[in-house]
Amino acid sequence: MTARIGVITFPGSLDDRDAQRAIRIAGAEPVALWHGSHDLEGVDALVLPGGFSYGDYLRAGAIAALAPIMAEVKDAAAKGMPILGICNGFQMLVEAHLLPGGLIRNAHQQFIRRDQRLLVENADTAWTSDFTDGQEIVIPLKNADGGYIASEDELDRLEGEGRVAFRYLGVNPNGSLRDIAGIANDRGNVVGLMPHPEHAVEAGFGPNTPAAMRSGVDGLPFFTSAISALAAAAV
């Protein structure tokens, strides 16, 4: 049976349609969900997409974390549902305390857009199993509030438990502590990252590679990983 992956749209979401397209290309059925609903419509996994939910008022992701549907998101996370937060979605996950730490204004105080090299640190989550530990990938990045912060104790705990999922390579684009680009919860079903894998799933529209311009598809394994995790859980 085809996996059904929900994408939640909030006021100010910009990349919800891109996430839906990525899910479809990966082989699952995207399901559009609305922030004001309490119904997850029986989906098997969830994506919280990028954008500027509620205009990033108060803090990026702070208001969205209190949206009606987030009660259901928290319940689903506790039950082990795979949940991916991309950029603004990552900000929502930390504001909702589904992931630790916080995200603040970029260190240089400017919005950044670049194709970013990443190191895969943990290939044992619901969203990373189609990668290998130590793999280098290139994923588009675009954010103004992407600086990951946490206490030294929390950072040590994340490192010690292998919960740093991705780390920036070559350059730290936003001042994130310890070059952290993405993290996972302790069960590995919830993952958040600042770069945008949904923008690197189709040749002709992704980052440049040595093979050809715009041919990078390093974002696709995020979504195929989730599909594989769901299939394994159904056996």
Helix intervals (H) in the chain: 16-26, 69-78, 88-95, 152-160, 220-234
Which three-class secondary structure state does DSSP give residue 91? helix
Other C-beta atoms closer than 10 Å to the C-beta of 105 total: 17
Burial of 177 (0-12, 13-18, 19+ CB in 10 A): middle
Report strand pairing: 83-86 vs 29-34. unpaired
**String of b and e for 46-85 (b: at least 16 CB within 10 Å)?**
bbbbbbbbbebeebbbbbbbebebbebbeebbeeebbbbb
Expressed in angstroms, the distance from the first to the final Cα of the chain is 12
What is d(CA 72, CA 42) in angstroms, rounded to the nearest whole number?
Answer: 11
Closest CA to 40 of 61, 67, 12: 67
What is d(CA 223, CA 79) in angstroms, rounded to the nearest whole number?
Answer: 20
Per the annotation, the verdict on 198 as an active-site residue is yes
Q: 87, 95, 121, 199: which one is catalytic? A: 87
Per the annotation, the verdict on 202 as an active-site residue is no
Query: Phi/psi at 95 (nearest 5 deg)?
Result: -65, -30
Q: 35, 95, 121, 196: which one is catalytic? A: 196
Per the annotation, the verdict on 196 as an active-site residue is yes
Known catalytic residues?
Answer: 87, 196, 198
